[in-house]
Structure formats: C-alpha cells, structure tokens
Structure 1
C-alpha cells in the first residue's frame, strides 16, 4: 500500500487480478503526477538550454569548430582596456605575394581601382581552348573593319592552328618568379634618352609595328622578344622573337595562315607581305575578347578602340610580374613623332578620333600612381 502502483502491477502479473477499484485509481493518479513532474522538469531544462543558446548566438559543436575559433569568439566579448594591443590591418595576416619582384602586378590590395577592373583570368592569347568567342565580342570585333566576304571564324582558326601551335605559353602567377618586362613604344622621346641597356636588361622586351632597333641601340635597345603587328605593318623577325598578330578581321587570320604557307593573299585593305619569315612555333594571336576587355574596362569606350600601345601594355600587365614602360607620349617639346623619323605630321592620328590619346595617357598615369607600372619619361 506504500507503493500501490507497484502492487497493482504485481497482482496483474501473478494472478491476473486487477485488485480493488480504489487501489487501481490511486496508482493511476500517482503515476500521472510523476509523469507531470518529470515533464515539467524536462520543459524547464529545455527552456534554460534554449535561453542559454540564444544568449551565445547559436549552437556550438566543438568537434565541428576549427581550432581556436571558440577562443577568438570569446575574445570579441571582452571590452577594450588600457594597454590592449590592437592589430593593424597589415598585422596578423600576411599580404598575398604573387611574385618575387619588389612590386608585383598581380598583388591584390594595392589599388582598389586596379583590382576592380583587372581580370587575371582572361587570356590575352587566342588559342584552341578559347576558340569560341562570346557573341557580343564577336559582333564588336568584326565591325572594327567590316568585310564584304563572310567567313566561318572557327574553320579559319582551326586551319591556322594547323600551322601555328594555338596555345598560350604563359602560366599563372609564381611566387618564386620575377618576370620583368619592357613595353617599348615608338615615341620620339626615346631619342637621346640612353635607355638601350636598361631596356635590354628585361626578360621580355615588347615592341610595336615598325619599331627599328638597328642604328638606335643606345636609346631603344637591341633585343626583342615580342613584336606586335598588323598584317599591314608586318615584317620578318629573327627566329627567337614571338610574332604577335593583332587581328581586326577574319581576313587577317587568313593572311597569317597564307603568309606562313601558300602565300596566296597579297592584299587586305592595303598591300601586305606575301610570305612572312618568322618562327611559326612562336606566332601568337591577340585575343579579341581581351581586346574588348581593354575597351570596356580600361579605356571605357573612349575612341573607337584602344591604340596598339594600350593593347601591348595590358598584354604585359597580364603575363608579366613587373612592367616598365618606355617611349610613350610626346617628347619634351610636345611632338608625337616616331623616334626613327622627323615628321611633324606623325601626330595627326590624335585628331582622327579612332584613339583617345589623352584619355589613354590618363590611364598610364593612374597605373603608375597605383604602382603597377614604372614609366620612363625619355627626353
């Protein structure tokens, strides 16, 4: 009778008797009270647990938290006090380094303007891997120099890539590398500047269109690794120099294929070389998608399209670790002539509206101030 819920149960088990009605009712009432009590205790426990979790800001599962995470979270709750050491933005985290040069083009966090516009993933070279152009790029590119005869661009490229490698020789950033590049323009400010030995001391030396070196070694240097040209400005190159074609139309691609093989094409919109003596394994094609990227992100649609100088400069900014610029802009007297000629009309291109030389000069100045290039002013 002290534990009716047990005796009642025993009578059922042993003899099949349920006992008196009074004893059974008392056992049920006692059992109900016990379950209510246990439920209340459980509810209190759960309520306190949820309240504690809400104060802490969430459930913490120690085996899922990274090491030190709980400690760092607790530190945030400690108020500042006199003498506390507070980390500066550069302390505690090592800034990402993309090369072994003192200043690297690819290092993020140096210039917000540069980081917002710079796309390290876009290839400056047209290859088998990126043979398909986005529709907007293709229609923009083919309208630069409209043609009367349509061509299937992929078939033309596949034919070309049977003659040249059709791949990019440039890899990703290497923290152990310092690839120094000289972008050499054709400005008359090179004459008398004596930059020749400095230019020749670079790993890559990039030149544009005609750009002679013979007779101008003291000022313009004597070495070349990359020469950027159109079909109409093309010339023969030494075997160790990369010919980089800047195409404006499908006919330009047909021409380079012809000039390296059959020699069938002799005219585009002007007479062109029937045969081209260059190292076929070093021929590269400037990517129209990269061309438009410069037009959209950097020159911001100033002019019909960027100048060759801008194309080469941004080519270097995407394949080199350090970029130094020579022979850009006017000379000290405001002349825009080439360093190998005395032609007071050679700067007339600035008035055609095809290129916006003044806006491009602002971009070069901004790149220099951002520490991404070094400009040698010349004379």
Structure 2
C-alpha cells in the first residue's frame, strides 16, 4: 500500500476525490434548482429594488401622498386617549348606546389584560420593511401569489381568510391578523391579533375571550374564547377609522371596510406595501376566494367598495403601493 505524506492511501484518495466531485455536482444542481424556483416563483414579480419606485421612498414623498398627513398613533395605548368628539363619531358606526365614560372604563380594563402600548418592529434607514396586505377577494384564486406574499417582512391578513388548502395562492405566513369579534379565528402564538373595534362590546370581548371567556351576544355568533397571544394584541384607534373615512375616502359610504383600513394601516407601519386580494370578480360580485358564491348580487353594504377600489388603483398608479390584481 503506497502512502503519501500522511494523507489517505492513494486508492482511497481517488475514491475521496470522486465523492467530492459528486458532492459538488449535487450542490450545484441544488443551487441551480433554487435559482430556477426563485426566478419562476418569486423574483419574477419584482423589478430590481433600485428600479422599484414604490420601495422605500425617499424623504420627498410623491405629490399624491402630500394630500394625506400620516396619523400619529394608529393604535390605542394608555397614553393615547380618544377624544369625546371622536368617540361620538365612532359610536354611530354600529349604534353604540353606551356613554363615553363606559368606553373609558372598558379600555382601562382592557389594558390590564393586553400590552399598554402597541410595540412593533420599526423600519430603519438601513432596512426596508415590506408588507403584504392580503385581502379575501376571489381574485386570489389561481393567482400563485403565495411565495411572493410569504417573502414580505410583514404579512397582514384579515377576518376569516384561511391559508390551509390555498397556500399556492395566498401563502402560509401571518404576522398580523386583523379581526373583530364576529370574524375572529384562532391564531398562532407568534401572530399579532389586530383588533378593529366598532363598538364597546368588541373591546370587552378581546379582554374576556383571552381570559375568563366572553358571554355577550351580537348580530352574529361570537366565539367565547379565542386562541391568541395576549402579549401581541394591538387595538386600532377609533380615531384612525375616522381619519381613513374623512381623509382618504372623503366621507364616502358609512365607514371604511376592514380591508381598506388595513391597507392604510400598512402605509403607516411599512416602507413598501404589496397589496393582494382586493376587488370584485368579473361579474361585479364581492366574493371570497374560499367560498362558492350564492348571492349573485353581493355588494359591499355600507362600505364604499367602488370608491375604495378606485383609491387602491390610484395608489398603484402613483407608485405608493404595488397592487397585484390576480385572476
């Protein structure tokens, strides 16, 4: 047996070299496969970052955004108190009959259960924070947007929109889930529950559903308990709803939809906003991607759906957001 300077025997060195070559070949094939997937499923949606005018805009905001001042604090906190004027606007949304003092007492009890301020990871000069806002439109079906949605830093979903069984079109990740009691679903422990409260009962619900159990009633069934991390609960400021209705929608409709408020919220917490799953189907029906439509005249009720959709297209045209229309 011939040895060489303390290395492996020569016949074993040949075997080792062959194994190394096979290993390198397998590695290169894997890398190639990943690159093909990346180009085919994710990066084809993107222009290079420096060519994406909607990404991490400069200090000079486009003219379109100059029409809107950013809302200082989108979420409630112990130091962010609602004015009585804003309360009186909010209480009309769903005919709230209780007083401003009842509201304040309920909020005080709520902050004994959830964080006293809504802390969220902020963007920084050296980091562009991207959001995927995922609506529930039927236009998501067969869109294959799933990988692109999961690629974003923040993934905002809302109400009862499921991911299981629809992963290819809607993705799998959820960092923030917008809901109200009548649309509540269980959440993973690392997902923020973002409550859009339309009445005092909604604030009572989030307090009790995460502790002793809720026993009230509403216009639709409400879960008495919900699985969610109480340390990640965030509650939208009712004044933010008014801001969206008056500044963004010019008071059209009774009040904004959950979906449109979630989109405007994303503009406040992210540098780069990608919007999916909004708009009516080809017949003008506002249906969901997981349901077979029975009501062929399904519209948006008190929400100004057409006005909101026109505003989304305007935001896209002005390169404030990137809107993916789907099928």
Output the TM-score relative to the length of structure 1. 0.69
C-alpha distance in 2, partners of 1:221/1:171? 22
Partner SS, residue 164 of structure 2: coil
Distance 1:116 1:321, change over 3 A: same
Matched, 1:113 2:64: yes
Query: Hey, what does 1:197 align to over in structure 2?
Result: 147
Contact 1:182–1:205 at 8 Å: present in 2 too? yes
Query: Hey, what does 1:157 align to over in structure 2?
Result: 107
> For the pair shown, which has the larger CA radius of gyration, 1 or 2?
1
| Matched ranges for 1:1-379 at <5 A | 103-104=54-55, 107-119=58-70, 121-130=71-80, 132-150=81-99, 152-170=102-120, 174-332=124-282, 334-345=284-295, 348-350=298-300, 352=301, 354-379=302-327
Distance 1:105 1:218, change over 3 A: same
Partner SS, residue 308 of structure 2: helix
C-alpha distance in 2, partners of 1:262/1:346? 41
Q: CA deviation at 1:102?
A: 6.0
Q: Deviations over 1:194-221 (max 9, x none)?
A: 1111111111111110000000000111
C-alpha distance in 1, partners of 2:158/2:280? 16
Give the CA RMSD over aligned residues.
2.0
Q: Greater relative contact order (Cα 8 A, min sep 6): structure 1 or 2?
A: 2
Distance 1:108 1:358, change over 3 A: farther
Partner SS, residue 244 of structure 1: strand
Structure 2 unaligned residues grouped into runs of 5+: 1-51
Equivalent residue pairs, number: 276
Partner SS, residue 313 of structure 2: helix
C-alpha distance in 1, partners of 2:72/2:294? 39
C-alpha distance in 2, partners of 1:140/1:106? 33
Q: Deviations over 1:328-363 (max 9, x none)?
A: 11234544311001114276233x3x1111111111
Distance 1:225 1:171, change over 3 A: closer
C-alpha distance in 2, partners of 1:229/1:295? 18
C-alpha distance in 2, partners of 1:144/1:104? 35
Distance 1:347 1:169, change over 3 A: farther
Structure 1 unaligned residues grouped into runs of 5+: 1-100
Q: CA deviation at 1:193?
A: 0.8
Distance 1:282 1:365, change over 3 A: same
C-alpha distance in 1, partners of 2:169/2:199? 34
Q: CA deviation at 1:295?
A: 0.7
Q: Deviations over 1:261-312 (max 9, x none)?
A: 1214241333211111100111110111111110111011110000111110
Partner SS, residue 366 of structure 1: helix
Distance 1:128 1:347, change over 3 A: farther
Contact 1:336–1:346 at 8 Å: present in 2 too? no
Partner SS, residue 114 of structure 1: helix
